[in-house]
């Protein structure tokens, strides 16, 4: 079901807050600057160990205090798991069921959260990194071999790039290629497999949410499609040495998004862009539920902005279909949103009151 309860101390505008959530749709409403996005942000941090608002968590500590605490109980297939985060003295310390995790990826495994906010359009309009992050969120959560392969790939890539920057001899640089190719091909295969699982849901939901438009997604490996990774690396060694970096590989992969046969970023409106990106993220949540046997948690910040009644209503039907626990913020409680809501929280100047 997701997050059962949440407790905050000295997090942004909240000196202290305790909430119990519904397993379905929770609405967080309030005026501008009341603390809606901050509440969503705290749930995101609990699941990811980082913020979507800032790279520096220091700025999320309430002004005039020394550190923040975020804690909550997350449902699991067995009994609920307690997650606690403390940011103090420039460090984020995490506990999962009383134990210190070896890395923050364990937070994601315990509490998978997916966000749709005003930056969701970056999935369509932003650079390839946004689409790689999108794919990797999905692969990470359904394929346990992905994270170790990704770490090995990143380490090897780093070593190879150090040698390239130092102008080392071709033979020395290529001594890293064996491992880079093995891990790179594993990542490539995982991403392609994942996309083939995601595609049918993504197509169906985008068609529904966008009122009949037709989606196509195509994975681009990060090297020419008529070569394998090994051939591509070999052929690029001279230019890699000139550039001082490895220019081909899964770290340069992308996903082409087309609507009715045209590049999405060139043909959709900004409202459609939000619905398209949102539908892709919802499709991920649905595929996660299907493959892992439990739903993730969805965070929808200011969803209604830019959407007309038809788009909002169809999008919310997809949200319900994911089976995910959902936290949605809105300035006003529109009847379309209210028709799906189980619990409403009103936020005012850093105080949260449960309304229904
Ligand atoms: N570290 C901090 N300490 C105290 N207050 C903070 C801190 N960081 C942000 N705030 C304040 O928290 C308030 C709530 O911000 P938030 O972005 O959550 O509002 P919101 O309800 O989402 O508003 P909007 O509807 O405009 O999106 C703002 O007034 C902001 O200045
Ligand atoms: Mg906000």
Structural contact between residues 279 and 194, judged by C-beta atoms closer than 8 angstroms: no
- For 296-335, the DSSP string reads -EEEETTTTTT--HHHHHHHHHHHHHHT-EEEEEESS--H
* CA 39 to ligand 1: nearest atom: 18
Ligand 1 atom nearest the C-alpha of 35 is 18
- Of ligand 1's listed atoms, the one at least distance from the Cα of 41 is 18
**Contact 36 CB / ligand 1 (< 6 Å):** yes
Whether 326 lines ligand 1, by a CB cut-off of 6 Å, is: no
The answer as to whether 128 is a domain residue is no
Q: Kindly state if the Cβ of 29 falls inside 6 Å of ligand 1.
A: no
The range of the structural domain enclosing residue 90 comes to 1-111+299-356
Please give the distance, rounded to the nearest whole angstrom, from the Cα atom of residue 313 to the centre of ligand 2. Answer: 21
What's the confidence (pLDDT) of residue 227?
97
Query: Which ligand has the minimum distance to the alpha carbon of residue 14?
Result: 1
76 is a domain residue = yes
- Which ligand is located closest to the Cα atom of residue 30? 1
Q: Is residue 19 in some structural domain?
A: yes
What pLDDT sits at residue 356?
62
- Considering the domain boundaries, does residue 61 fall inside one? yes
Give yes or no for residue 203 CB within 6 A of ligand 1.
no
* Residue 228 resides in a domain: no
User: C-alpha angle 94/150/145, rounded to 5°?
Assistant: 85
Helix (H, G, I), strand (E, B) or coil at 111: coil
Q: Please, what is the end-to-end C-alpha distance for the chain in angstroms?
A: 19
Nearest CA to ligand 1 atom 27: 32
Residue 178 falls inside a structural domain? no
Which bound ligand lies closest to the C-alpha atom of 29? Answer: 1
Ligand 1 centre to CA of 271 (Å) is 25
Ligand 2 centroid – CA 32 distance (Å): 7
| Whether the CB of 32 sits within 6 Å of ligand 1 | yes
CA–centroid distance, 35 to ligand 2, in Å, is: 7
CATH number for the domain harbouring residue 319: 3.40.50.300
Residue of 28, 29, 33 to test ligand 1 pocket, by largest number of atoms within 8 Å of CB: 33
**Cβ contacts of residue 144 below 8 Å, gap of 6+?**
none
Ligand 1 atom with the smallest distance to the CA of 30 is 21
What are the two backbone dihedrals, phi and then psi, of residue 353, each rounded to the nearest 5 degrees? -125, 130
CA gap 37, 53 in Å, rounded: 9
pLDDT at 333: 84
Name the stretches of the chain with pLDDT < 50: none
**In contact, 221 and 255? CB cutoff 8 Å:** no
Nearest to 301 by CA among 129, 10, 44, 18: 44
38 pocket-lining for ligand 1 (C-beta < 6 Å)? yes
Cα–ligand 1 centroid distance for 94 (angstroms)? 24
Contacts of 35 (CB under 8 A, 6+ apart): 12, 13, 14, 347, 349, 350, 352
The phi, psi pair for 223, rounded to 5°, reads -150, 165
- Give the per-residue pLDDT at 186: 98
Taking CA atoms only, the protein residue closest to ligand 1 atom 30 is: 33
Is 345 contained in some domain?
A: yes
| Rounded distance from Cα 299 to ligand 2 centre (Å) | 12
Looking at all shown ligands, the one closest to residue 34's CA atom is 1
Closest ligand 1 atom to 61 CA: 1
Q: Is the CB of 67 under 6 A from ligand 1?
A: no
Residue 203 lies in a domain: no
Centre of ligand 1 to C-alpha 32, Å, is 8
Q: Give me the pLDDT at residue 1, please.
A: 67
Domain total of the chain:
1
């Amino acid at each position: 079901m997701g997050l059962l309860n949440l407790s905050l101390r000295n997090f942004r505008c909240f000196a202290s807050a305790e909430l119990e959530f519904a397993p379905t749709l929770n609405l967080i409403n309030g005026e501008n600057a009341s603390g809606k996005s901050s509440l969503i942000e705290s749930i995101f941090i609990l699941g990811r160990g980082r913020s979507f608002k800032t790279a520096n968590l220091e700025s999320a500590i309430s002004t005039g205090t020394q550190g923040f605490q975020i804690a909550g109980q997350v449902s699991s297939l067995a009994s609920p798991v307690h997650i606690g985060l403390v940011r103090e003295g420039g460090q984020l310390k995490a506990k999962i069921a009383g134990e210190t995790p070896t890395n923050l990826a364990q937070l994601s495994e315990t509490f998978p959260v997916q966000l749709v906010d005003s930056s969701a359009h970056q999935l369509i309009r932003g650079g390839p990194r946004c689409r790689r992050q999108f794919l990797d969120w999905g692969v990470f959560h359904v394929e346990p071999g992905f994270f170790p392969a990704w770490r090995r790939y990143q380490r090897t890539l780093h070593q190879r790039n150090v040698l390239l920057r130092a102008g080392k001899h071709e033979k020395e640089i290529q001594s890293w290629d064996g491992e880079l190719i093995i891990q790179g091909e594993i990542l490539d295969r995982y991403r392609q497999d994942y996309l083939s699982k995601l595609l049918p849901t993504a197509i169906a939901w985008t068609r529904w949410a966008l009122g009949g438009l037709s989606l196509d997604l195509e994975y681009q490996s990060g090297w020419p499609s008529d070569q394998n990774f090994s051939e591509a690396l070999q052929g690029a060694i001279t230019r890699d040495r000139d550039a001082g970096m490895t220019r081909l590989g899964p770290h340069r992969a992308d996903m082409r998004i087309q609507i009715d046969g045209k590049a999405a970023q060139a043909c959709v409106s900004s409202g459609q862009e939000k619905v398209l990106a949102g539908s892709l993220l919802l499709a991920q949540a649905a595929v996660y539920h299907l493959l892992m046997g439990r739903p993730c948690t969805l965070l929808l910040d200011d969803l209604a902005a830019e959407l007309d009644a038809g788009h909002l209503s169809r999008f919310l039907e997809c949200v319900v279909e994911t089976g995910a626990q959902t936290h949605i913020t809105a300035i006003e409680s529109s009847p379309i949103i209210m028709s799906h809501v189980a619990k409403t929280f009103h936020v005012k100047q850093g105080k949260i009151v449960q309304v229904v």
